[in-house]
Amino acid sequence: MIRSLLVANRAEIARRIVRTCRDLGIATVAVHSDADADAPHAREADAAVRLPGDAPADTYLRGDLLVKAALAAGADAVHPGYGFLSEHADFARAVRAAGLVWVGPPPEAMEAMASKTRAKEIMRKAGVPLLDPLDPAEVTAGDLPVLVKAAAGGGGRGMRVVRELAALPAELDSARAEAASAFGDGEIFVEPYMEGARHVEVQVLADNHGTVWTLGTRDCSLQRRHQKVIEEAPAPGLEEELRRTLGESAANAARAIGYEGAGTVEFLVSPSGRAYFLEMNTRLQVEHPVTEEIHGLDLVALQLRIAEGERLDAEPPAPRGHAVEARLYAEDPARGWRPQTGILHRLEVPGLRVDSGPDGGDAIGVHYDPMLAKVIAVAPTRAEAVRRLAHGLERARIHGPVTNRELLVRALRHPEFEAGRMDTGFLERHLPELTAEASENGEAVPLAALAAALADAARRPATVAGRLGGWRNVPSQPQLRSYRAEPGGTEHEVGYRLTRDGLLAEGLPDVRLLTVEPGWAADPGRDTQSGRAADPGRAVQPGRDADPARVVLDVAGVRRTFEVTAYGDRRYVDTPQGGHVFTALPRFPDPTARTEPGSLLAPMPGTVVRIAEVAVGDRVEAGQSLLWLEAMKMEHRVTAPAAGVLTALHAAPGRQVEVGALLAVVAAGE
């Protein structure tokens, strides 16, 4: 029996495992880097062990430190979660060699699937259908498009879609470099890229007595940068014969390598309905909750019981209903999916299952994946589950860095998705419409900006009339406030007057003010969002811990309620129809706040990982890659903004940069 478990991971999955252990009566030990010292997973476990440093290579990827932490804390088992060392056979062997229980598959099974090239050979012998690889040196124009993939990788790292033959050599080199940096293994391979394919996977669960479960299918086709964004179970629209083929192939794959525990066999399904083996993940998947919800299981609890030697029942529970999961990321989809950092002041999604990493009041840093939470809806039918998830996300209160929330809501409501006609190119194909700013002709954004202005005015210590600008018996100039919508940067000037007939808003003739209830600043020694004492070493910003103001407007006879929360110069306006974020602009902008033409500034905090073969004085073309930044487990290219001459280069491999740091200067002309 496992009595104490070390969770060799962080954030959402660590909290998920701790929650199940608490239900099973198992004590838990967390590990944390210095950046995660006050993270929820470290607070919620029964004990926590520090891993000195911030970077994953110094902390969560140090198997020796993890084993040492387990022994020091008296744990008798280790659960790796997903990511980090969860699929490293050597780590599993080290755990077992220390006399600890490894909550995962045998190291030999992990090793068999660790290399995608070797995995395909094993699957071929097991009769699992797969795509034939291509020799990179013999790829022709007729083979295009092709997919370059890292043999040892995952999560979209070291992966490139190549559509032009001339671009293949450079993409091969780039994929090798990224794979070597991310996985310590630069091996890559090439295979046909299947346009219009779906990503469908099968959850497997196997005990050490020979029983193998296949728990239906999941569709994970909505992806960005080859990383999943929306997943659902069961995969919609599959013929019964195809479902049977997928289940049998997944079971054969598990038996071929002597698998034990939870794992996932992933397939590409062509538009014609043929399935091809993609890879096997020898761990728990991020998207496991949708399978749990429809089968009524706790997969983490089953992992633990299998590790203790228990037998599975002969057959798994039958599925019921439909579940959909959306991954909420701190990123800006409209700007190259740039990861975002900062304080997450508030995260509330009422009525749905939320598996989150950070809580309100926690900082989102640069060292780790930008996923904030997984939001899961379940219902008797797919249509109801999709509707519930979109509605819940729309009403969510998310105060902090820019997120992909709006993209998720729009994707869930897109006609193609609602009809179940999605594929792996969905987000790329529809990105412009999914990230477009709200129409200027609509009233949603102007009304939200007006609510922000009225809330700001109402916070002044005076009578209501005084706070809103006072009443005069002759016409006067309107009160003016300016806000910038985030993200996007569109500026909105709000003008209003308080007359004998009530509020008059510029450009909104059918709007009347019903109520303004100003928010009150909370005790500066307490963070009202997280319930924790405020960090005495952190300056409390004006409005940092403020309660929301409530603004009620009559809009053409319809009562509308707006909840406005202020943190510094940011205003978060939440409504039942969605949320809006504004930055309050000063009346007199600083005229010195400008950047010299041609300056390339860091779009995010991160680490310079590579510099292109360019030098100061070289001529560069518009869009030419100059350097690569790594932030939150993703690489981002920094390119020349226009044709010109590289006149300065302020970057070197390994250099840490903050957002806005000057990286290079490209002067236009000769």
Least confident piece of the model among 95-99, 189-193, 350-354, 553-557: 189-193
**Phi, psi for 283 (deg, rounded to 5):** -165, 180
SS3 60: coil
pLDDT for 458: 85
- With CA atoms as reference, report the closest residue to 511 among 503, 521, 499: 503
What is the set of active-site residues?
283
DSSP structure string for 72-123: HHT-SEEE--SSTTTT-HHHHHHHHHTTPEE-SS-HHHHHHHHSHHHHHHHH
pLDDT for 540: 29
pLDDT tens digits for 134-168? 889 889 988 899 999 887 766 677 888 999 999 99
Task: Report how far apart, in Å, the C-alpha atoms of 191 and of each of 131, 249, 295, 330, 542 are.
Answer: 7, 20, 35, 32, 55
pLDDT for 531: 39
Characterize 182-191 residue by residue with b for buried, 16 or more Cβ atoms within 10 angstroms of its Cβ, and e for exposed: bbebbbbbbb
pLDDT for 554: 95
pLDDT, mean of residues 544-560? 86
Residue 565, pLDDT > 50, answer yes
Kindly tell me the number of DSSP H helices and DSSP E strands found in the chain.
16, 38
Beta bridge partners of 148: 160, 190
Going along the chain from its start, the domains and CATH numbers come out as 4-103 (3.40.50.20), 132-192 (3.30.1490.20), 198-435 (3.30.470.20), 444-584 (no CATH), 599-668 (2.40.50.100)
CA distance 168 to 554: 59
pLDDT for 439: 59
pLDDT tens digits for 525-547? 434 344 343 333 332 233 345 58
pLDDT, mean of residues 50-59? 94
Sequence letter at residue 144: L
Q: Which has more confidence, 463 or 560? A: 560
pLDDT tens digits for 596-637? 678 888 877 788 888 888 889 899 988 888 888 887 666 778
Q: Which has more confidence, 194 or 256? A: 256
pLDDT, mean of residues 391-403? 96
- Using an 8 Å Cβ cutoff, are 283 and 86 in contact? yes
Sequence letter at residue 381: T
- Choose from 179-188, 403-412, 584-593 the range with maximum mean pLDDT: 403-412
**Residues ≥6 apart with Cβ < 8 Å to 472:** none
Computed over its alpha carbons, how large is the radius of gyration of the chain?
Answer: 27
pLDDT for 590: 58
CA distance 42 to 33: 10
pLDDT, mean of residues 648-663? 83
pLDDT for 153: 67
CA distance 240 to 243: 5
Give me the helix-helix angle, 89-97 and 63-73, nearest 10°: 30
- With CA atoms as reference, report the closest residue to 639 among 652, 626, 658: 626
pLDDT, mean of residues 442-448? 90
274 — pLDDT class (breaks 50, 70, 90) = very high
Residue 363, pLDDT > 90, answer yes
Q: Which has more confidence, 286 or 460? A: 286
pLDDT for 533: 37
Q: What percent of the chain has pLDDT over 90?
A: 65
> Computed from CA positions of residues 543, 548, 549, 555, in that sequence, does the dihedral angle turn out positive or negative?
positive
Residue 459, pLDDT > 90, answer no
* HSE-CB for 488 with a 13 A CA cutoff: 20
Residue 351, pLDDT > 90, answer yes
pLDDT tens digits for 477-522? 788 999 999 987 889 999 998 777 788 898 898 999 999 998 755 4
- Using an 8 Å Cβ cutoff, are 413 and 577 in contact? no
Residue 361, pLDDT > 60, answer yes
pLDDT tens digits for 216-235? 999 999 999 889 999 999 99
pLDDT, mean of residues 413-425? 96
Which tokens is 305 given?
């019981």
Q: What percent of the chain has pLDDT over 70?
A: 90
pLDDT for 652: 84
CA distance 607 to 625: 16
> CA angle, corner 500, sides to 499 and 501, nearest 5?
85
pLDDT for 530: 40
What is the pTM for the complete model shown? 0.85
CA distance 567 to 546: 7
Q: Where are the beta strands (DSSP E) in 462-510?
A: 479-486, 491-499, 502-505
pLDDT tens digits for 589-600? 655 555 667 888
pLDDT for 502: 82
**Residues ≥6 apart with Cβ < 8 Å to 256:** 122, 123, 125, 126, 128
DSSP 546: P
SS3 126: coil
pLDDT for 631: 74
Q: Which has more confidence, 595 or 281? A: 281
**Residue length, the chain?**
670
- With CA atoms as reference, report the closest residue to 610 among 186, 181, 184: 181
Residue 172, pLDDT > 70, answer yes
- Using an 8 Å Cβ cutoff, are 277 and 120 in contact? yes
